Amino acid sequence: MLIREIVQQALKTRYLTREAEDQLRQLLRSKYDSQDLQAFMNLQNAVMEGQVQQESRPFLDNLLILRDDKLSCI
């Protein structure tokens, strides 16, 4: 599975499962192309903007992290 496929599913469902996060971590340790990198950056932005919720971090926690330190929360 490619990074961009996982990202596409998360953007479609507006939800990132723990399993998908684990897969992303593994895939990011190996070689990937510029399309996968761009897809991952798009996912990071979607999470920061509240468009995608992470199973590992409930939406409310994401908002608190962003408000407190003004940094990304992925």
Structure confidence by residue, pLDDT tens digits, 32-68? 999 999 999 999 999 999 999 998 876 555 544 444 4
Say what the pLDDT of residue 57 is. 79
pTM of the model: 0.74
Say what the pLDDT of residue 1 is. 83
Mean of pLDDT over the chain: 84
CB neighbour list of residue 66: distance below 8 Å, 6 or more residues apart:
48, 72, 73
Say what the pLDDT of residue 60 is. 52
CB neighbour list of residue 70: distance below 8 Å, 6 or more residues apart:
none
pLDDT score of 72 more than 80: no
